[in-house]
Structure formats: C-alpha cells, structure tokens
C-alpha cells in the first residue's frame, strides 16, 4: 500500500519527532465534502503536544542545519502522485484533475529548493575605509512554525516546508483540520526520503489559536509562515510581535479581472474559466469580480455562462469531474448569502445543488451594482459577478478600490496598454492575458492586506534565512 493510500481511511497519529497520539487521546474527524461521510480520524493535538513538537524540532535543528534535502522528496511525491491526488480530492472535495495539478506543483517545490540550497551564497568585500573585510553569510533563522489552509492541502505545505528545510530550519506544520491527511502523508513521504525525524513535525489540532499561540511564544521559534485569511493573519502578526518573529503572510484576496475593449474575447473567456474555476473557485488568487468593457460585455457574459454551465459536476475523486463540492457546509452558506444579497441578473446558476455533499451551481451574475457586497468579499466558490464599464480609468479605480492586493487579471491586445495598466494595479501579482499566474519560479505574494513576504522563486528561501555580518579586521 502506498503511503498516500494509507491515509484514505483509518485512524492516524500525528508527527511529533515520532508518530504519536495526542497526549489527551482525543481525535478529529475528517469528512469527504462530496457526501459528508467520515473518511478517517486523526489525533487532536493539545497545547502540550504543540510544544512537544517544538522540542522535537529543537532537538533535530543542529544536525539538520548541516545538511540539505536535495531531490529525493520530489521523486517520491511524484511516485505517489495519483494516490496523493485522490487523497486531496477525498478530504478537500476538489476535482481530481485539480488535485493532480496540485500534487505536481507541490512536488516541484522540493526540486526547486533542493536546487536553491547550494546557492545560499554569502559575500566578502573590503570596507570603504580599507581597514576591514565585510563578511556576509546566511544562516537558518531557527525553528519555523508553518500554518496552512485547506484549499491546497499539499502545495501550501510544501511551499513552506521545502524552503524551510532547504534553508536548514526544522519546522512544525499545522495544517487545517479540514484537510490534515494530505499533510500527514506528505510528511511521511519526506521522512521516507531521508529527512531525519524531528526536522519536520505535524500537529493537527482543533485548538489552533492556543497551540499556535503557545509555539509563537516559545523562544526557540523564530519565524511563522501563514497562509489563510487576513483576519487570522492579523492575529498571528500580533502574536508574532511579542518575540519579534519574522513573518510570512499569504492572506486573503479580492482579485479583479479586467477585460479591456480591445481584448481577444475567446482568450479572455479561456482565462476567466481558469482564473475563476480552478480549484472550484476556492483559491485566494481566484478572480472575484469581473469588469468588462461595454462592447464585449454581453458576449463575455453569455460566453462565460455557457462555459460555466457546461462543467461536469460530481464527486471530486471521479476522474472526469470538472467541479467538485465546496469544502464544507459553511462555505456553501457564505457563497449563497453573497449571491442572494446581490441585486443582479442571474445568467446561470444562483443556487446550491439539491444533492448530498456541499455543492454550489456554477453561477454568473450580470449587471452587478458597483457597491454590491459580493464584489467586496472573497466568494471562494464558483460564482462570477460581472460589472460593465465604459471608462477604463473608472474601471481601474474600481479594481484598486479594495484593502486587498494579491493578484489582478487583465486582458488587452495592446501590450503598451497592458503594461501601463499592470503598473497601476495595486497588487503583488498581475496576470496579463493569462488566467493563471502561479509559477513556482516566480515570487508569489500580495501587497496591502493580502500579505507580507514572498513564497516560491529565489525569494522564498530568504524568509527562512538570517543575514549574518562579520567585520573582519585586516
């Protein structure tokens, strides 16, 4: 049996140096969003367990700082890609094809950072006074606490674990309680690849606030990397302030998707489907609101509705499913509230689906008023609200009128216009004539309330390194 298959049922310990039950013996149920049935049980970590995980990370830290993970974990993740994808679909609900894409993306972080490890290169220079050398080197920052959400259970974990391990840090990962099985399976694969016990620990807990809070107040912990809501990000930033921890925050988004009058309509529709529907819309990078030039507006609206309503909806693990369920009942409730609140023309969908599991119909809302709540809140589901525009400057103003700044999408056939508007977009990332910007070789991250720091690329490893300067007398 593959490691990933083992996690598709049964009762599982957590990883605190070794595999262990919670000291309280309590467990958490993990459910399949496609039918709401319980798949597996996982040990529910207490605060004492969280601190024991820091102990394990501290014990492993000195030996790990002297090694690098190289390529082995990548090879093994790919070897189990089908079983891992199935596990992601089972506990998250997403379509198998999305899950498979995620596993490949997740595995790439090990390859990328195993390549970055030997390039943690310092420098030596002569001081302007000529009296000393300036020696600069980069050291692992210390124990890293990694907190990840349920929407990409594998990739959000590896995007943090791979650079942390590559920098020489040991870590404690706390995945979301909705999707702990993938994190446990990935950790087991990494251990099998040769990363020593204690270098990676995984605690699953229903007491996130208390357990993460306790770890962030342990003096051995030096950095926290979080992906999740801006609301929880703010809490962790406050907690991190006490020990002056470095922080990496990938928080919420409210991505605008702007279609200029000179856009290629078909390309914009293809891009819109990816930007909106990848992962069922459950991505912080998902296009949240569409602004479309009046000359293309009706064709875009009808074209998107046609494509959305043609999606095959079903159980995530069925290989031909294009749209699976949302992660849980609350997610569907939130989507439904936003849709009901919007005073708009419902072009397709507009309701939950009458079947077991947490399904919502692919929905296109046209003529949405500029101040509607659905344009201001992260929908996190298969709903596309569209607003027409006549004046590009006004559309840009609307696009930027948000506290968030993760990503913006922009379609125009005029590259000069595209670069000018990209420069004006207040977001950490812009997808210009692309429905997908995420690339492990590019710096992922947001501006404004969407976050701090960057993940992936050559920048991602810097979050786990401390600069050390030694003045050397001549």
CB of 337 to ligand ADP, least distance (A): 15
Active-site residue 171, yes or no?
no
Helix (H) or strand (E) holding 154: none
If the CB atoms of residues 148 and 408 are measured against ligand ADP, the closer one turns out to be 148
Give the footprint of ligand ADP on this chain (CB under 6 A): 147-149, 174-177, 208-209, 212, 228-229, 232, 235-236
Helix (H) or strand (E) holding 11: strand 10-12
Cα 280 from chain centroid?
14
Sign of CA dihedral 208, 212, 214, 217: negative
Residue owning tokens 């998902």:
286
Give yes or no for a contact between 342 and 373, defined as CB atoms under 8 angstroms apart: yes
Q: Check 250, 378, 455, 463 and give the catalytic one.
A: 250
Residue owning tokens 């605008």:
256
CB of 381 to ligand ADP, least distance (A): 12
Cα 121 from chain centroid?
28
Give yes or no for a contact between 320 and 472, defined as CB atoms under 8 angstroms apart: no
CB of 334 to ligand ADP, least distance (A): 10
CA 449/CA 159 separation, integer angstroms: 21
If the CB atoms of residues 283 and 465 are measured against ligand ADP, the closer one turns out to be 283
Give yes or no for a contact between 59 and 52, defined as CB atoms under 8 angstroms apart: no
CB of 380 to ligand ADP, least distance (A): 8
If the CB atoms of residues 328 and 424 are measured against ligand ADP, the closer one turns out to be 328
Q: Check 169, 171, 260, 284 and give the catalytic one.
A: 284
CA 308/CA 363 separation, integer angstroms: 7
Copy the structure tokens of residue 138. Answer: 């980069």
Active-site residue 284, yes or no?
yes
Helix (H) or strand (E) holding 38: strand 37-43
Q: Which residue is nearest to ligand ADP (CB)?
A: 228
CB of 179 to ligand ADP, least distance (A): 9
If the CB atoms of residues 148 and 363 are measured against ligand ADP, the closer one turns out to be 148
If the CB atoms of residues 284 and 410 are measured against ligand ADP, the closer one turns out to be 284
The catalytic residues are 250, 284
């Amino acid at each position: 049996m593959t490691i990933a298959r083992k996690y598709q049922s049964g009762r599982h310990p957590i990883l605190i140096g070794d595999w262990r039950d919670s000291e309280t013996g309590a467990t958490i149920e993990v459910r399949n969003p496609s039918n709401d049935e319980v798949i597996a049980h996982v040990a529910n970590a207490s605060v004492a367990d969280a601190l024991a995980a820091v102990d394990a990370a501290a014990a492993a830290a000195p030996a790990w700082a002297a090694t690098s993970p190289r390529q082995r974990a990548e090879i093994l993740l790919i070897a189990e890609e089908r079983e891992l994808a199935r596990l992601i679909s089972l506990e998250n609900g997403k379509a198998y094809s999305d899950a498979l894409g995620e596993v490949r993306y997740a595995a790439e972080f090990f390859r990328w950072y195993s390549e970055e490890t030997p390039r943690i290169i310092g420098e030596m220079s002569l001081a302007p006074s000529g009296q000393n050398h300036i020696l600069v080197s980069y050291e692992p920052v210390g124990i890293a606490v990694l907190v990840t959400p349920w929407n990409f259970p594998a990739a959000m974990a590896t995007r943090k674990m791979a650079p942390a391990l590559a920098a020489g840090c040991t870590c404690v990962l706390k995945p979301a309680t909705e999707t702990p099985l993938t994190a446990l399976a990935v950790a087991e694969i990494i251990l099998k690849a040769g990363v020593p016990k204690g270098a990676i620990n995984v605690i699953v807990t229903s007491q996130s606030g208390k357990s993460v809070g306790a770890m962030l107040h342990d003096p051995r912990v030096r950095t926290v990397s979080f992906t999740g809501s801006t609301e929880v990000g703010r809490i962790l930033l406050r907690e991190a302030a006490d020990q002056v921890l470095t922080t990496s925050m990938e928080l919420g988004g409210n991505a605008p998707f702007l279609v200029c009058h000179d856009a290629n309509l078909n390309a914009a529709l293809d891009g819109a489907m990816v930007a909106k529907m990848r992962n069922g819309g459950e991505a912080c990078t998902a296009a949240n609101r569409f602004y479309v030039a009046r000359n293309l507006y009706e064709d875009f609206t009808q074209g998107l509705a046609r494509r959305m309503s043609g999606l095959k909806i079903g159980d995530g693990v069925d290989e031909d499913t294009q749209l699976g369920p949302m992660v849980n009942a609350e997610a569907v409730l939130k989507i439904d509230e936003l849709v009901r609140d919007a005073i708009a023309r419902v072009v397709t969908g507009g309701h939950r689906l009458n079947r077991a599991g947490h399904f919502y119909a692919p929905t296109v809302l046209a003529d949405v008023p500029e101040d509607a709540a659905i344009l201001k809140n992260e929908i996190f589901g298969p709903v596309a609200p569209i607003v027409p525009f006549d004046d590009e400057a006004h559309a840009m103003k609307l696009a930027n009128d948000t506290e968030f700044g993760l990503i913006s999408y922009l379609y125009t056939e005029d590259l000069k216009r595209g670069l000018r508007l990209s420069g004006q977009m207040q977001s950490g990332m812009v997808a210009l004539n692309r429905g997908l910007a995420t690339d492990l070789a590019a710096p992922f991250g947001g501006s404004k309330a969407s976050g701090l720091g960057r993940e992936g690329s050559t920048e991602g490893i810097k979050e786990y390194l401390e600069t050390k300067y030694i003045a050397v007398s001549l």
